[in-house]
Amino acid sequence: MTSVDDALLAVDSVSQNFGGVQAVRDCSFVVRSGHVTGLIGPNGAGKSTLMEIIAGGLRPTRGRVVLRGEDITGKLRSTVGRMGLVRTFQTARVFPRLPLMENLLIGRQVQRGESLARAWLPPLWRAQEDELRARAEELLEEVGLSHRRDALGGELSGGQMKLLEIARALMANPTLLLLDEPIAGVNPRLVDTVVAVIERLRGRGIEVLLVEHNLSFVGRVCSDVIVMAEGTVLAQGDLDTVRADRRVIDAYLGSA
Ligand SMILES: Nc1ncnc2c1ncn2[C@@H]1O[C@H](COP(=O)(O)OP(=O)(O)OP(=O)(O)O)[C@@H](O)[C@H]1O
Ligand SMILES: [Mg+2]
């Protein structure tokens, strides 16, 4: 059993209340290094809330989040991002009127919390800008969007927006990437691209924790699966094992 301090990421007795709603209830699990981990569960289980807590968007009402032995509970998104942990959102956050390149460069500034003041130092700015543009070009290629490089964000399909968001997250050079429903609304033809992107990330040693409802996708990419319902963890293991768990079956049937 991996302990909180040895784990890649540990969620330890986390609760989150929104007024009278308890979105997350005393939730604990560890994410182990070397796995693509899937977080699954019925609608309203608390998955996205937990992703936001982990990624520094929300300080939990109770409990703590530990990244590679370091307590990151309540740290800012930019601080957590500099520590290598970056998330994407369930609804892709694309700037519709900006070209893809600008969508990616904005990501870098926001995710890493870089000081805008640095942009006023011309030589440094120029060198940095060139480097970032080259990196953005590479990432467009990586996620299969090079052929759309002249498009505006709003001209992409839903699936392409999801891929653009993954590329934007990668601009921050994460070591742990959190993906919230990476194939929701994605055309089946693009699902293979998402799978290939995740496999390449794994090949480069980037860890992935993802939320997804599509269990055949989860079965393809995840070697460890955590099941949540009503704000808490019901089971963890490989997909076949957790699917056979009585509590998991009941939770899914109960929400059907
Ligand atoms: N900002 C908020 N204010 C109030 N309630 C919230 C807020 N965010 C989430 N909730 C509630 O918390 C619960 C968990 O929501 P959450 O979005 O985390 O679930 P989820 O597992 O991601 O669901 P889905 O699979 O539908 O995306 C839900 O009851 C939701 O309505
Ligand atoms: Mg969600």
Q: What is the pLDDT along the chain (256 residues), one digit of tens a residue?
A: 678 778 899 999 999 999 999 999 999 999 999 999 999 999 999 999 999 999 999 999 999 999 999 999 999 999 999 999 999 998 888 999 999 999 998 856 544 445 555 555 566 666 777 888 999 999 999 999 999 999 999 999 999 999 999 999 999 999 999 999 999 989 998 999 999 999 999 999 999 999 999 999 999 999 999 999 999 999 999 999 999 999 999 988 776 5
Alpha carbon dihedral 70, 76, 80, 82, in 10-degree steps, equals: -120
Give CA–CA dist 154/22, Å, rounded.
35
Q: Is the CATH number of domain 9-255 3.40.50.300?
A: yes
Q: Half-sphere exposure of 68 toward its Cβ, with a 13 Å CA cutoff?
A: 8
Output the pTM of the full model.
0.91
Sign of CA dihedral 185, 157, 202, 88: negative
Q: Which of 11, 47, 59 to mutate to test the pocket of ligand 1 (most atoms within 8 A of CB)?
A: 47
Residue nearest to atom 11 of ligand 1 (CA): 23
Query: Rounded CA gap, 106 and 111, in Å?
Result: 8
Q: What are phi and psi of 7, to 5 degrees?
A: -70, 155
| Alpha-carbon separation of residue 180 from 39, 113, 114, 151, 249 (angstroms) | 9, 21, 24, 24, 22
- Which amino acids bring their CB within 6 angstroms of ligand 1? 18, 21, 23, 41, 43-49, 90
Map residue 227 onto helix, strand or coil: strand
Angle at 177 between CA 171 and CA 211, to 5 degrees: 130
**Interval between CA 245 and ligand 2 midpoint (Å):** 22
Q: What angle do CA 73, 82, 66 make, to 5 degrees?
A: 30
Nearest atom in ligand 1 to 51's CA:
18
Which strand ranges, in their side-by-side order, compose the sheet holding 232-237? Answer: 85-87, 176-180, 207-211, 36-40, 224-229, 232-237
Q: Which ligand is nearest to the CA of 179?
A: 2
